[in-house]
A and B are shown apart, each in its own frame.
Chain A
Amino acid sequence: MTIAIVLLAVVVGAYLVAVLERWSVHGQFSLSGPAVSALALLGRESLLARTPDRLFFEAGPILLLVAGLLGAAVIPLAPGLIITDLATGALFLNAALAYVLVALIMAGWGPNGAYGLIGGWRFLGQFIAYAMLIVMPITAVAMRAESLMNTQIVLSQTQLWNIAYQPLGFVLFVVAAMGLAWLPPLDLPSAPGDLAGGVEAEYTGVRLGILRLARMVIILVMASATVTFYLGGWLGPVLPAWAWSAIKTLIVAALMLFGGRYVPRVREARYLAISWKLGISLSLANILLVGVIALVVPI
């Protein structure tokens, strides 16, 4: 039962993220838009590239979707509304999302086309930039909660949300999450202006539909992970717990989707340099600060 409810929530959430994404990319706000597009994609031919690596070509989008769904399994939507409340939930999220990299490289390699190939390998570089910045802020969150269990992490924020407790970690995590979901300005693997779609360039029809759905799920998971780790998850007055999770998640997703409109795409070399030289130093400072506060202030 719980599984069915969470899956339904993921489907509805991914649909709403798609509405937001369409709004941010094409400037069309339409609640029915993604449904129409999805139906149209079902009707279009799903072309196979001429000399593909068939296994990678087919498996890439599906693995991406699986990675997203695995991530969703450890996110609590309300007390008790979680597929599996692992003792190492926060770590499991990282492990699940590591497959995003594998899936994108497969999707880039599979069609045997240059744009996809470069896009896939670019994401490998991007992974090096964002990976540490996902893990290290989570470390600080887990330090405060004294647990890697995601429900425990939410409950640890009853007095004060982590966005106020460790704002630096919040900023770092959101930026890294945008890198993981390859959202503009960190959309290097699909880069419309310089790779003509990159990893997405050779997919059409149903396969493109799966790829896009998978991306929406990943954006949703990253937004809800941000809510779980920094915005107090389901906590909030008056409204039911699941409603707070939904509202917060959509707000974070909208922030992540619309932020990229106002800045140009970051250069890959620059992204790596900033992530490592600045990002990791700040993450370490964040861990130190949170450690000191956790020892001194009992909230």
Chain B
Amino acid sequence: MIGARQGALSGFRRLIAGAMARDLCVFALPGIDVARARGIDLRAANLRLTITPRHASVLLFLGSLPKRLEDAAVVAYAQMPRPRAIVFLGAGDLPDGLHADVIGELSQAGLINALDELTKIISEGAFAAQVQEFDAPALQTRIEYTCPMHPEVVSDHEGNCPKCGMNLVPREISAGTAHAAHATPEQEPAMPPKSPPQATANHDHSKHTSAEATAKYTCPMHPEVVSDEPGSCPKCGMFLEEVKGEADHEGHDHHHDHSKHTSAEAAAKYTCPMHPEVVSDEPGSCPKCGMFLEEVKGEAEHEGHEHHHDHSKHASAETAAKYTCPMHPEVVSDEPGSCPKCGMFLEEVKGEAKHEGHDHSGNDHSAHQGHDAHASGASADGIEPQFMSMIELTEGQPVSPDGLIMEWIDVPFGPFFPGLPGGLGLDMSLDGDSVAKVSAHSLVSAGELLAEGATPPEKFVERLAAMSPLSPVSYRQLACLALESAAKQEVASSDATARAAAVERERIASHLGWLANLGAQTGFAMLERRATNLELTIRDANMDHIAALDPEIASLLARLRKSHMLRDKLSGTGHIDHCSATSGPVARASGKDDDARSDDATYIGLGFATVTGSGGDAAARLEQRLAEIEQSCELIAKAEHLSLPEPAKIGAASGEGEAVVETPRGAARLTLTLTDGMVTAADIGTPTAAHFTLIEAITQHAEIADALIAVGSLDLSPWEMRP
């Protein structure tokens, strides 16, 4: 056994090895969702599923992994305690450096045979006199140093933070990760290179006093200390920081004090006129309402306090907003009252108004008010502005909407996280336990649609189906329809109905799989068990069998609809507007009448009518999927046959074809070009691609569990992403 533990196998160890052979805890790659979709029931094989590789003794590969996932698999293996075993099911290769103890075929029988063999291997080889150290390139890490207060400061060696003088703390990062941008602390990684220069502050600097104009170096803690030369602060000894651009006011392209901006703020360049919380680096449309984003000309939210004294020099011409919430600076009102977000009394804002000659949008205003409230709050507490207060220590640090300043931690979730689809990676910055920043990526994104230039139609269909292991039938149907449209072939209506039934069966299975994931994510064990069993049964069930399962499905749906605690858990989480670019159940749950099936003659023949919900939150998406399971059961009952889509004989036809299929996750669209019976070009649009962009908006400021529920409720398939 390759992953054996050091030690001679004798006496007590023999007993322990026997126990380990009977106590198989498995961690499945790329995920339990893929195992279900491939009809493999790990529990029926008497395996216990673990939630982390740390608790696992068997690493189970369900087929070979996409290239980008291999490193993660190596790390998962390295995290497992010895003795550890690898079982590989299916054809293909393991990631470099890993060797399977047992190889089996990718089926339930194959798994059970493999486990029988594994039991023998473990009971005889769990301990070995000689064991090899496991090492792989993916495990190489290096240490870099960063400032606890200024995460943008990164250095290769120990030292002090150039911004605040604190000791840099070591941090371990993967050696493979490119961190070139952080190479020198002098750089300002907080300013992404892609941000357009006009997006930075555009003040009329003729109003500034000359004292500031000549100030070149200042203390980060004592803004009153200014010097022409670099050096240390006479009050606290910290390094003086350079204030760039202050002296030179001709060019308005000025970057002063942007070092204080957080990346999130500095990156905020475009915002929605209706949803000021929507900010983006790039022009585009609002994910909430679809309006064009407007460029923010002034500064985005400033927490930087050295700005405060500048502003006091400005004359107040008019007072635009009079009351604001001390916690939610974006809340402004002409009248006293309480904050609609937190219920606190609004504070009066005196004198803060439009700056002469400044080109402010509404968003800027709110930012100034927030800033003002912050400063006045500090003085109201009796803290002198110069005092080394928490406010100043965390100056320039991002501040949560709740006003609490906490240390941010970066936590990766995925690609093998138990509460998320396998292959989906979420890198979250957590502020306490709420999400401050998130970036999502797929590690299993589909490769090229065409393997090598011209592809035979049969191979193309298989390839497309294999690319989406979570819903292969829908993509098979999509490929077949597009091929037929390109070859101008007609399908007999009975065949079309039988295929539609297969797609509907997969929809039921997929939604049940989503329910199983929800059960696993929320610790709702009964839901997970029942949905898993139903999904495994229905994936290959024939018409009669599906009809026989109807009562069982109906009872599960009724049970879920009655669950107050489930509704309570999901309500209000992950709200999505009906204007967003969504499709599938996610769109329909927010009231959007969007279903590719409603234009399909086959479905119209079966009496299809779009089911829509309302609410647009995770609870609505649950309702929607429950309703769709019912609807699909009815559609299958009306169809008389069920058969998997098979590509028709295309011959040597040429032409352009297009097809849309409503997959379980939404509408997928495929265009392809046939040349002499071979597929020569193809392009695909998948629902997950659109839903991926919603992740940021629906997880923002959410508690971590709520954020994961919100992401889970989108039912993403990372396999549908294109690189």
Query: Which A residues have a C-beta under 8 Å from some C-beta of B?
Result: 24-28, 35-37, 39-40, 42-47, 50-51, 114-115, 117-118, 121-122, 184-185, 187, 191-197, 200-205, 208, 260-270
Contact = CB atoms under 8 A, between A and B. Distances in A.
B526 interface: yes
Given A44-B81, A117-B409, A50 B172 contact: yes
A192 B520 contact: yes
Interface of B: 5, 13, 15-17, 19-20, 22-23, 43, 46, 48-49, 51-52, 54-55, 57, 81-83, 126-127, 172, 409-411, 417-419, 430, 433, 519-527, 529, 563, 565-566, 568-569, 703-706, 708-709
A24 B525 contact: yes
A31 to B, nearest CB: 14
Contacts of A43: 5, 13, 16-17, 19-20, 83, 126-127
Contact of A194 (B19, B48, B409, B419): B419
A263 B563 contact: yes
Contacts of A184: 523, 525
A96 B22 CA distance: 37
Most B-side CB within 10 Å, residue of A47, A191, A266: A191
Contact of B525 (A118, A122, A261): A261
12 contacts: A27-B529, A28-B48, A43-B16, A44-B57, A185-B565, A192-B418, A204-B81, A262-B524, A264-B523, A264-B569, A265-B705, A266-B569
B54 A47 contact: yes
A171 to B, nearest CB: 16
A46 B704 contact: no
Nearest to B520: A193
A39 B48 contact: no
Contact of B569 (A121, A187, A202, A265): A265
B283 to A, nearest CB: 35
A123 to B, nearest CB: 12
B11 to A, nearest CB: 13
Given A37-B23, A197-B55, A260 B81 contact: no
A185 B566 CA distance: 11
A193 B568 CA distance: 17
Interface SS of A by simple majority: helix
A9 B87 CA distance: 41
A266 B524 CA distance: 10
A217 B505 CA distance: 47
A44 B20 contact: yes
B22 A260 contact: no
Contacts of B705: 191, 193-194, 265, 267-268
Nearest to A208: B55
A261 B19 CA distance: 28
Contact of B433 (A118, A192, A260, A262): A118
A191 B523 contact: yes
Given A201-B54, A266-B565, A185 B523 contact: yes
B17 to A, nearest CB: 7
B5 A40 contact: no
Nearest to A267: B569
B523 A187 contact: yes
A44 B520 contact: no
Given A39-B15, A193-B419, A269-B703, A44 B82 contact: yes
B19, B22, B525: residue with the most chain A Cβ atoms closer than 10 Å: B525
A121 B433 contact: yes
B522 A193 contact: yes
Interface centre among A43, A51, A114 (most CB of B within 10 A): A43
A55 to B, nearest CB: 20
Contact of B81 (A27, A121, A205): A205
Given A39-B20, A118-B430, A263-B565, 9 more contacts: A26-B49, A37-B19, A114-B411, A192-B51, A196-B419, A197-B51, A201-B52, A204-B55, A267-B703
B523 A265 contact: yes
Contact of A40 (B57, B565, B569, B706): B57
A59 B704 CA distance: 28
B12 to A, nearest CB: 9
Contacts of B49: 26
| Residue among A39, A40, A266 with most chain B CB within 10 A | A40
Contact of B16 (A26, A42, A194, A201): A42
The 3 closest A-B pairs by CB, nearest first: A39-B19, A264-B522, A193-B521
Contacts of B16: 39-40, 42-43
B523 A192 contact: yes
A261 B55 CA distance: 21
Contacts of A260: 523, 525
A195 B418 CA distance: 9
Contacts of A40: 16, 19-20, 22-23, 57
Nearest to B19: A39
A122 B524 contact: no
A118 B523 contact: no
Nearest to A270: B568
Contacts of B13: 43
Contact of B524 (A25, A194, A264): A264
Nearest to B22: A36
A263 B527 CA distance: 9
A267 B52 contact: no
A227 B525 CA distance: 27
A283 B55 CA distance: 40
B522 A36 contact: no
A122 B705 CA distance: 11
A122 B57 contact: no
A40 B83 CA distance: 10
B358 to A, nearest CB: 40
A196 B523 contact: no
Contact of A197 (B17, B22, B52, B521): B52
A22 to B, nearest CB: 9
Contacts of A25: 525
A167 B43 CA distance: 39
A59 B433 CA distance: 25
Given A114-B409, A191-B705, A194-B419, A36 B526 contact: no
B8 to A, nearest CB: 13
Contact of A264 (B48, B410, B566, B704): B566
A167 to B, nearest CB: 21
A45 B522 contact: no
A46 B81 CA distance: 7
Nearest to A34: B23
